[in-house]
Amino acid sequence: ATLVLHSATKYLGGHGDVMGGVVAANAEWTARLRQVRALTGGLLHPLAAYELHRGLQTLPTRVRAQQVGAEKVAAWLQAQPSVEEVFYPGLPGRDPQGLVGRQQSGPGAVLAMTLSGGHAAAVDRVGGPS
């Protein structure tokens, strides 16, 4: 990939007390980003770096717990008549290429769903404006 952007605020911190991000880039983009960083001063504050480092110590435990929760939610959603489809690689048949097993230690904690009835049903279900 040319650029990979990661929100350190979401998973890495773990305590809800820090905002930050991570950029991984190829050599060309790394040089460009270093120049932008030098010109704009876009650096992580030392205390924020410490807090992110602290959060990394509990990351495996938190991710495992989040994954267990996501698996339960995905299975529950599949049984709901108002849910048309659940997108979660930990469900049977949802990882036909076997990528999760080859690239990760588990299916993660992110899932999505499609409600039966489309957008109108989703708005009605959550009580939002039409």
Q: pLDDT tens across 44-89, in order?
A: 999 999 999 999 999 999 999 999 999 999 999 999 999 999 999 9
How is the chain split into domains, by residue range?
A: 3-56, 59-126
From 1.20.120.160, 3.90.1150.10, 3.40.600.10, 3.30.70.120, which CATH number describes the 59-126 domain? 3.90.1150.10
Of 53 and 119, the one with more pLDDT: 53
Q: What was the pLDDT predicted at 51? A: 92
Count the Cβ atoms, other than its own, within 10 Å of residue 102.
8
Q: What is the pTM of this model?
A: 0.72
Q: pLDDT tens across 32-47, in order?
A: 999 999 999 888 999 9
Three-state DSSP state, 43: coil
